[in-house]
């Protein structure tokens, strides 16, 4: 069966992927029958991965990251060039044809970010795939998500506490899930109130992330390693640290661009992710120090590390230590992390 999971809500996409894995069968057998591929594969490589008979199991799982985005990028880049258009169409058709003929023992999952409804490969596969879209939650959707998460965990929460969580944490569901779970434990069966959110949803880790970004950008390897180890000792998991680092670098790039356009502070603060005085103040402090090219370099390396962890090439903590050490020293990218 072919599954397509797309959207800006990476947390919900990963949850949906876990549901697919659970539905396949024995997790131990699945470990030896799972193949993860990136968007640079050829139609032949994809066909081979999907047609390989599972070992001592009924099903094989094949996960491909970024294939739809790749076809979308090519579609935009080659518009108006006849020969390139023909080549592109042949590639799409070759991939689409192979995916429409999946063997019954293969579960194929295409995972991507925000994809246009006019994406040629998506349109070619929509009729034979189970397509699920996960857009970033708006305010009402985020509030409903928090309430469901609290209820599922056996707790309850006041509307004002929900609003405070939305203001403090924002739409990052990885971070929100962690904070909600802490609040449910802290409340111990009673309703979660605003005071609980103020006490539990601390900015201690966020402040450490700001300091870690500072050290990385300024090539202070020793300090960067120190901040990383402090975050790990505080209980932050590698995926959380990566998410927070990527979020912070994204914020710095956005603020840098808005300041270049001459936007006033009041207008910048109205943008998503910048409503907190603490976050905005730190972002404004940092944007003047760092070049856009350096921030982009760090952001792309974070994405590489995230992929290395998710594909099992590196343990999460090891990947973070390597990444922080290299970026802090200004070392060239490690080939194994790509």
pLDDT, greater one: 88 or 214? 214
Residue 223: pLDDT band by 50, 70, 90 thresholds?
Answer: confident
Q: Is pLDDT of 207 > 70?
A: no
Alpha-carbon gap, residue 156 to 147, rounded angstroms: 7
What would the mean pLDDT of 160-166 be, rounded to a whole number? 87
Q: Is pLDDT of 73 > 60?
A: no
Tell me what the pLDDT averaged over the chain comes to: 81
What would the mean pLDDT of 232-236 be, rounded to a whole number? 69
| Residue-wise burial string across 34-55, b where 16 or more C-beta atoms lie within 10 A, e elsewhere | bbbbeeebebeebbebbeeebe
Alpha-carbon gap, residue 299 to 293, rounded angstroms: 10
What would the mean pLDDT of 159-185 be, rounded to a whole number? 86
Looking at the DSSP bridge assignments, the partners of residue 163 are none
Residue 108: pLDDT band by 50, 70, 90 thresholds?
Answer: very high
Percent of residues, the chain, with pLDDT higher than 70:
86
Total-model pTM: 0.56
Percent of residues, the chain, with pLDDT higher than 90:
20
Among the listed residues 247, 298, 307, the one whose alpha carbon sits nearest the alpha carbon of residue 39: 307
Q: Is pLDDT of 111 > 80?
A: yes
pLDDT value at residue 203: 54
In order of 193, 236, 237, the CA distances from 199 in angstroms are: 10, 18, 21
Q: Is pLDDT of 337 > 60?
A: no
pLDDT value at residue 29: 81
Among the listed residues 236, 235, 262, 244, the one whose alpha carbon sits nearest the alpha carbon of residue 306: 244
pLDDT value at residue 85: 56
pLDDT value at residue 15: 92
Q: Which residue has the tokens 């506490």?
A: 161
| CB distance 142 to 272 below 8 Å | no
pLDDT, greater one: 90 or 196? 196
| Helix, strand or coil, per DSSP, at residue 54 | coil
pLDDT value at residue 332: 41
pLDDT value at residue 238: 81
pLDDT value at residue 89: 65
Residue 132: pLDDT band by 50, 70, 90 thresholds?
Answer: very high
pLDDT value at residue 333: 42
- pLDDT-wise least confident of 71-75, 159-163, 243-247, 276-280: 71-75
Give the DSSP per-residue string, 14-49.
Answer: HHHHHHHHHHHS-HHHHHTTEEEEETT--HHHHHHH
Span 307-332, pLDDT tens digits: 888 888 888 888 888 888 888 775 44
What would the mean pLDDT of 138-142 be, rounded to a whole number? 88
pLDDT value at residue 335: 43
Q: Is pLDDT of 105 > 70?
A: yes
Alpha-carbon gap, residue 2 to 14, rounded angstroms: 16
The encoded tokens of residue 68 equal 């739809």
- Give the DSSP letter of residue 192: B
Mean pLDDT is highest, among 87-96, 143-152, 216-225, for 143-152
Determine which helix (DSSP H) or strand (DSSP E) holds 65, and give its type and residue range: strand 60-65
Domains in the chain and their CATH numbers?
Answer: 2-133 (3.40.50.300), 142-200 (1.10.8.60), 204-337 (1.20.272.10)
pLDDT, greater one: 116 or 329? 116
| CB distance 5 to 135 below 8 Å | no
Residue 338: pLDDT band by 50, 70, 90 thresholds?
Answer: very low
| CB distance 63 to 92 below 8 Å | no
State the Cα torsion 46-50-51-53 to the nearest 10°: 140
**Within 13 Å of residue 204, how many CA atoms lie on the same side as its CB?**
13
């Amino acid at each position: 069966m072919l599954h397509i999971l797309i959207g800006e809500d990476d947390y919900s996409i990963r949850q949906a992927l876990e549901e697919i894995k659970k539905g396949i069968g024995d997790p131990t057998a699945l470990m030896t029958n799972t193949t993860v591929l990136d968007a640079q594969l050829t139609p032949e490589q994809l066909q081979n991965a999907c047609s390989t008979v599972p070992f001592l199991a009924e099903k094989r799982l094949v996960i491909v990251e970024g294939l739809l985005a790749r076809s979308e990028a090519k579609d935009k880049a080659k518009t108006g060039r006849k020969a390139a258009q023909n080549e592109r169409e042949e590639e799409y058709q070759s991939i689409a044809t192979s995916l429409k003929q999946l063997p019954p023992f293969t579960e194929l999952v295409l995972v991507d970010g925000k994809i246009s409804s006019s994406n040629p490969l998506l349109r070619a596969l929509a009729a034979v795939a189970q397509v699920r879209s996960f857009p970033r939650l708006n305010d009402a959707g985020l509030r409903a998500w928090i309430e469901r998460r609290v209820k599922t965990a056996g707790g309850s929460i006041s509307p004002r506490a929900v609003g405070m969580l939305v203001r403090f944490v924002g739409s990052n569901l990885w971070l929100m899930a962690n904070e909600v779970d802490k609040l449910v434990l802290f409340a111990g069966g009673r309703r979660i109130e605003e005071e609980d959110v103020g006490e539990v949803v601390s900015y201690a880790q966020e402040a450490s992330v700001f300091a870690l970004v500072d050290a990385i950008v300024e090539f202070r390897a020793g300090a960067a390693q120190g901040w990383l180890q402090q975050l790990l000792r505080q209980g932050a998991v590698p995926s959380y640290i990566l998410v927070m680092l990527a979020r912070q670098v994204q914020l710095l790039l956005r603020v840098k661009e808005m300041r270049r356009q001459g936007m006033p502070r009041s207008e910048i603060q109205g943008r998503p992710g910048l409503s907190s005085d603490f976050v905005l103040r730190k972002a404004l402090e940092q944007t003047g120090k760092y070049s856009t090219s350096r921030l982009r370099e760090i952001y792309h390396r974070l994405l590489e590390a995230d992929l290395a962890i998710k594909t099992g090439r590196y343990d999460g903590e090891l990947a973070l230590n390597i990444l922080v050490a290299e970026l802090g020293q200004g070392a060239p990218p490690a080939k194994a992390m790509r």
